[in-house]
């Protein structure tokens, strides 16, 4: 019988060192937890994959202190234009917004950013990554999870209180748990060609909705060009296409096969699939293990980053004994519906852009060209307002005034620039929020309205109390506010506009920057109690 070596114990075992596993490990490492990442490959995946990063994602990298290291591998304000076979613009996605503190659409090089996330783990003594460890078995009971991995010829066993399956679309954990992966695989195959020394040297991303052969051309950082061509039946030969076909496709995109510097050319199929459950007791699924989607909205990568951001703070609260295990149910409750909406949008976009029937393509073109002359519709498309923004109606939130479609509760809070002291350079809001909860108030000291019990509860959660003032008043307030409250100046006026729009001056922010609750000063105690219930906080000495 084969020997199983040395059982080691961790708080969390993460399976997979892709971006989702690595980000989760950064979040948990920052909380001082003991984390093991198991990766079956001998090194990080080094070929280009995801190319589109959104503003929410950059905000997550900011939260783990790595935005500055990630930025050199991004192109901000990266526009996406859909054009007809004749070059007429069907739709242009050019959102100029920076409401969350970062450019909404960014081109990026995934392996370089994955490496930043990996190197970021060196900051945490409690986190280790073991390459060359392929997870083969998983078992769980009421106390924890046991994972067995093969490394070379030996099998190693690890135990943890929780495990997170970030092991990609073919997730071994999802299969071991027998969780269905529901959805469809598109019939069309595509070849993805990445080139160094960009032979086109134009900015932005273009989708050519040419019915004879739709293709995509994307300028990426560091002179990389991504081309994706739809393949017709029988054109693919395994993972590649015959040279004459590749030559003619590249020529269509303006590139000469004899001169280009190919990094990788590989055939892919696109699928839209969603795991039936994101949680099975002590095992959670995140990233591609929980959902995969066609690339047309560039949201596969970003959706996984959202999972890591949503899950990590909840796991940390449970592992530290502050919240009950039930808090983890809110992970699936909050994330699954949004992932489903992103899959729907991505599948629909793929169907529209890859129409090969000339009549269908002409009708599509006529329809979108007509929409383009209706200014509100054009603004809707250009501003990407169709992108489903996460909006949680149930989960780790409190709606003291009832669930209300117009309430900002369950949405991501804005991130405008703020000032800490007169004359100081403005900083992004999250830099003053810290990495736990924050209570932000317009023009008051929130502690005045808090009972002792409320104050103690937020203190145990390391909550920052922040009062927001017009910049004219900051110096006066700094001299006056209590030691527990940090006054900041709203230098752009966006916070004032936000509180004005929502009609209440106290906002409770979760560590993932989502609005947990909103109330007036006199309801702070009652809202705190509602949140204590929604967050499943432990009673007793703990809050
Ligand atoms: C060609 C292509 C283009 C793409 N373009 C985009 C885009 O433009 N925008 C976008 O948002 N997304 C895009 N994506 C998707 C994006 O790359 C993925 O969504 C993202 O990498 C998912 O991250 P992840 O960490 O969940 O999984 P992965 O990055 O797949 O990482 C999973 C890791 O788990 C490891 N693993 C698997 N099984 C085991 C096991 N049993 N034991 C141990 N380790 C294991 C794997 O080796 C891997 O390192 C693209 C993907 C491809 C392939």
Regarding the beta carbon of 54 and ligand 1, being less than 6 Å apart is answered: no
CA distance 499 to 509: 14
Regarding the beta carbon of 287 and ligand 1, being less than 6 Å apart is answered: yes
- Token pair in block for residue 212: 């004879």
DSSP 44-71: ---S----EEEHHHHHHHHHTT-HHHHG
Regarding the beta carbon of 298 and ligand 1, being less than 6 Å apart is answered: yes
3-state secondary structure of 420: coil
Distance of CA 399 to the CA centre of its chain: 25
CA distance 147 to 77: 43
**At 86, is the pLDDT very low, low, confident or very high (cuts 50, 70, 90)?**
confident
Tell me the average pLDDT across 424-453.
96
Regarding the beta carbon of 20 and ligand 1, being less than 6 Å apart is answered: yes
CA angle 220, 223, 224 (to 5 degrees): 55
| Ligand 1 center to 18 CA (angstroms) | 6
Helices (H) and strands (E) in the chain — how many of each? 15, 26
Whole-number Cα distances in Å, 474 to 196, 336, 520: 50, 42, 22
pLDDT tens digits, one per residue of 368-418: 777 776 766 666 565 556 666 778 888 999 987 777 778 999 999 999 999
Regarding the beta carbon of 173 and ligand 1, being less than 6 Å apart is answered: no
| Ligand 1 center to 21 CA (angstroms) | 10
Nearest to 113 by CA among 41, 166, 51: 51
Contact 101, 62 (CB under 8 A): yes
Pocket test for ligand 1, best of 13, 18, 23, 228 (most atoms within 8 A of CB): 18
Ligand 1 atom 30: residue of nearest CA: 168
- Token pair in block for residue 4: 């199983």
Q: Which of 132-136, 369-373, 483-487 has the highest mean pLDDT?
A: 132-136
Distance of CA 153 to the CA centre of its chain: 36
CA distance 539 to 516: 20
Contact 83, 537 (CB under 8 A): no
Interacting residues of 312 by C-beta distance below 8 A, sequence separation 6+: 23, 24, 27, 28, 31
Ligand 1 atom 31: residue of nearest CA: 18
**pLDDT at 282 exceeding the cut of 70:** yes
pLDDT tens digits, one per residue of 195-234: 999 999 999 999 998 888 999 999 999 999 999 999 998 8
pLDDT, position 513: 97
**At 299, is the pLDDT very low, low, confident or very high (cuts 50, 70, 90)?**
confident
| Ligand 1 center to 311 CA (angstroms) | 18
pLDDT, position 182: 94
- Token pair in block for residue 174: 């999802």
* Placement of tokens 């015959």 in the chain: 242
Interacting residues of 381 by C-beta distance below 8 A, sequence separation 6+: 91, 92, 93, 371
Regarding the beta carbon of 107 and ligand 1, being less than 6 Å apart is answered: no
DSSP 247-289: HHHHHHTT--TTT-EEEEEEEEEEEEEEES-SEETTEEE-GGG
Tell me the average pLDDT across 36-54.
94
Regarding the beta carbon of 300 and ligand 1, being less than 6 Å apart is answered: yes
| Ligand 1 center to 289 CA (angstroms) | 9
Contact 26, 117 (CB under 8 A): yes
Ligand 1 atom 51: residue of nearest CA: 49
Regarding the beta carbon of 303 and ligand 1, being less than 6 Å apart is answered: no
pLDDT, position 385: 62
pLDDT tens digits, one per residue of 498-511: 999 999 999 999 99
- Ligand 1 atom showing the smallest separation from residue 133 Cα: 43
Average pLDDT, the chain: 92
pLDDT, position 542: 43
pLDDT, position 543: 38
What percent of the chain has a predicted confidence (pLDDT) above 90?
75
Ligand 1 atom 1: residue of nearest CA: 49
pLDDT tens digits, one per residue of 135-180: 999 999 999 999 999 999 899 999 999 999 999 999 999 999 999 9
pLDDT, position 481: 66
| Ligand 1 center to 499 CA (angstroms) | 39
Regarding the beta carbon of 294 and ligand 1, being less than 6 Å apart is answered: no
**pLDDT at 535 exceeding the cut of 50:** yes
Under DSSP, the state recorded for 419 is: B
Ligand 1 atom 29: residue of nearest CA: 18
227 Rama sector, left if φ>0, alpha if ψ -120 to 50, beta otherwise: beta
pLDDT, position 184: 86
Under DSSP, the state recorded for 18 is: S
Regarding the beta carbon of 304 and ligand 1, being less than 6 Å apart is answered: yes
Regarding the beta carbon of 49 and ligand 1, being less than 6 Å apart is answered: yes
**pLDDT at 488 exceeding the cut of 80:** yes
| Ligand 1 center to 46 CA (angstroms) | 11
């Amino acid at each position: 019988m084969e020997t199983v070596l040395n059982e080691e114990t961790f708080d969390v075992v993460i399976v997979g060192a892709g971006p989702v596993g690595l980000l989760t490990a950064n979040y948990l490492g920052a909380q001082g937890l003991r984390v093991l990442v198991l990766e079956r490959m001998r090194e990080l995946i080094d070929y280009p994959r995801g190319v589109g990063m959104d503003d929410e994602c950059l905000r997550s990298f900011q939260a783990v202190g790595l935005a500055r290291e990630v930025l050199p591998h991004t192109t901000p304000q990266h526009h996406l234009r859909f054009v007809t076979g004749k070059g007429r613009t069907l739709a242009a996605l050019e959102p100029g917004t920076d409401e969350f503190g970062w450019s909404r659409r960014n081109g990026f090089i995934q392996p370089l950013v994955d490496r930043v996330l990996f190197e970021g783990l060196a900051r945490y003594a409690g986190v280790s990554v073991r390459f060359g460890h392929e997870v083969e078995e998983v078992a769980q009971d009421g106390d924890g999870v046991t994972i067995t991995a093969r490394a070379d010829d030996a099998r190693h066993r690890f135990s943890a209180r929780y495990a997170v399956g970030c092991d990609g679309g073919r997730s071994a954990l999802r299969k071991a748990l027998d969780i269905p992966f529901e959805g469809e695989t598109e019939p069309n195959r595509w070849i993805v060609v990445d080139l160094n020394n960009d032979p086109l040297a134009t900015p932005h991303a273009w989708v050519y909705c040419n019915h004879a052969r739709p293709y995509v051309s994307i300028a990426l950082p560091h002179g990389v060009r991504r081309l994706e061509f739809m393949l017709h039946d029988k054109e693919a030969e395994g993972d590649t296409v015959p040279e004459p076909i590749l030559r003619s496709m590249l020529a269509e995109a303006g590139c000469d096969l004899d001169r280009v510097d190919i990094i990788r050319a590989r055939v892919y199929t696109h699928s839209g699939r969603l795991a039936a459950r994101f949680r099975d007791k002590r095992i959670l699924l995140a990233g591609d293990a929980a959902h995969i989607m066609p690339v047309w909205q560039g949201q596969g990568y970003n959706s996984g980053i959202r999972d890591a951001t949503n899950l990590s703070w909840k796991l940390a609260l449970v592992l530290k004994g502050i919240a009950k295990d039930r808090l983890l149910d809110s992970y699936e409750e909050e994330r699954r519906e949004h992932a489903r909406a992103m899959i729907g949008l991505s599948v629909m976009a793929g169907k529209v852009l890859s129409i090969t029937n000339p009549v269908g393509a002409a009708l599509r073109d006529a329809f979108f060209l007509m929409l383009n002359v209706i200014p509100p519709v054009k603004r809707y498309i250009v501003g990407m307002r169709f992108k489903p923004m996460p909006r949680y109606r149930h989960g780790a939130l409190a709606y003291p005034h009832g669930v209300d479609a117009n309430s900002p509760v369950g949405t991501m809070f804005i991130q405008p620039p703020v000032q800490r002291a007169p004359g100081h350079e403005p900083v992004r809001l999250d830099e003053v929020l810290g990495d736990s909860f924050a209570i932000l108030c317009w023009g008051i000291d929130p502690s005045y309205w808090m009972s002792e019990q409320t104050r103690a509860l937020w203190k145990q959660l390391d909550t920052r109390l922040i009062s927001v003032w017009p910049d004219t008043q900051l110096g006066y307030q700094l001299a006056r506010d209590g030691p527990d409250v940090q006054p900041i100046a709203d230098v752009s006026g966006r916070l004032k506009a936000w509180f004005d729009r929502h009609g209440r001056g106290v906002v409770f922010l979760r560590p993932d920057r989502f609005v947990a609750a909103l109330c007036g000063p006199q309801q702070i105690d009652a809202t705190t109690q509602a949140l204590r219930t929604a967050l499943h906080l432990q009673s007793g000495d703990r809050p």
